[in-house]
């Protein structure tokens, strides 16, 4: 999931350039046609056959990092600091409304309707408007900056993340690792540093022209804000395979969203895997993307990943 937000794809985002679509395995997705969400109610592990996994890629928010939990903590903190009617409102209801605004306005940013700062302005405005608080652009951004203090302080990896990475390296010696995120490159880079995944995954950013900031590093970070396309557009998955120098069919991709992550990767020729965390799922997006079709695996924890791919 997304960054500051767990967000889906944007139909207008593809108008910006990206060095993708011609990478290794770009033609492999033809066999996955017609496998969109809702294609079947079954959730089953795919038959891997001769597929040999050489690279494993992850979504970041609500997959490796507990984004929804951090957002909830940050909103509770914002209420405590605010006073007035906003502070007095039911915290669970405020958290739910904030999650809905995040989904709405961050998606508008991903589609190109809003700028990155614009989506922050609208989220802050719409959250506080019911309490009679009208914010200018500057006030909305200042409020959002204060909210981000609490959000950043609450960034934590899921407990299963590091053990799963160790298990993958043991099960698949020499495996390549990376992250594909619908988000701003600088913001997600900061996040990966703070939760100590930058060096753990040996990451370097992939730029829109396909170049790497540090080719000596083995891991890859692909952010939609840099590449100009968002998941589930196959071009962002193709760009990841190309940056790693492997065929798409030799890649597995794990994410908490059915269509945006698992089905998107599956349609691009990768082994798409839906991480269904149950009670830890984002309550706004939970079930919103339908059930995974045949050929898309489901796991309940990252701890299941090494055995699935070995």
Residue with tokens 């794809």: 9
* Cα 1 from Cα 260, distance rounded (Å): 8
Across the chain, the runs of DSSP E, i.e. the strands, are 55-58, 176-181, 203-205, 219-223, 251-255, 271-275, 297-299
Q: Write the pLDDT tens digit of every residue in 194-216.
A: 999 999 999 999 999 999 999 99
Q: Mean pLDDT lowest for which of 33-42, 50-59, 140-149, 208-217?
A: 33-42
pTM over cut 0.85: no
Asked whether residue 115 carries a pLDDT value surpassing 90, the answer given is yes
User: Which structure tokens are listed for 173?
Assistant: 């010696």
pLDDT at 20: 41
Q: Write the pLDDT tens digit of every residue in 56-67.
A: 999 999 999 999
Q: Write the pLDDT tens digit of every residue in 232-276.
A: 999 999 999 999 999 999 999 999 999 999 999 999 999 999 999
* Cα 32 from Cα 134, distance rounded (Å): 48
3-state secondary structure 103-131: HHHHHHHHCCCCCHHHHHHHHHHHHHHHH
Asked whether residue 145 carries a pLDDT value surpassing 90, the answer given is yes
């Amino acid at each position: 999931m997304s960054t500051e937000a767990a967000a889906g794809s944007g139909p207008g985002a593809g108008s910006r350039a990206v060095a993708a679509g011609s990478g290794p395995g770009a033609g492999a997705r033809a066999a996955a046609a017609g496998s969109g969400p809702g294609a079947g109610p079954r959730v089953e592990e795919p038959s891997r056959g001769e597929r040999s996994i050489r690279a494993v890629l992850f979504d970041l928010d609500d997959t490796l990092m507990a984004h929804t939990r951090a957002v909830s903590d940050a909103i509770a903190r914002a209420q405590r600091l605010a006073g007035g009617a906003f502070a007095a409102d039911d915290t669970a209801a405020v958290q739910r409304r904030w999650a809905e605004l995040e989904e709405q306005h961050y998606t508008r940013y991903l589609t190109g309707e809003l700028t990155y700062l614009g989506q922050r302005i609208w989220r802050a405005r719409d959250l506080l408007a019911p309490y009679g608080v009208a914010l200018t652009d500057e006030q909305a951004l200042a409020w959002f900056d204060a909210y981000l203090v609490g959000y950043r302080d609450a960034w934590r990896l899921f407990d299963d993340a590091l053990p799963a990475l160790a298990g993958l390296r043991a099960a698949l010696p020499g495996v390549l690792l990376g992250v594909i995120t619908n988000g701003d490159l600088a913001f997600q880079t900061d996040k990966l540093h703070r939760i100590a995944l930058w060096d753990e995954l040996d990451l370097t950013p992939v730029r829109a022209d396909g170049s790497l900031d540090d080719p000596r590093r083995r891991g890859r970070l692909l952010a939609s804000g840099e590449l100009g396309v968002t998941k589930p557009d196959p071009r962002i998955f193709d760009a990841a395979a190309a940056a790693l120098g492997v065929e798409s069919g030799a890649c597995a991709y794990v994410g908490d969203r059915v269509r945006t992550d698992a089905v998107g990767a599956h349609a691009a020729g990768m082994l798409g895997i839906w991480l269904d965390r149950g009670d830890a799922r984002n309550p706004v997006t939970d079930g919103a993307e339908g059930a995974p079709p045949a050929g898309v695996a489901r796991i309940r924890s990252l701890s299941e990943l090494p055995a699935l791919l070995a």
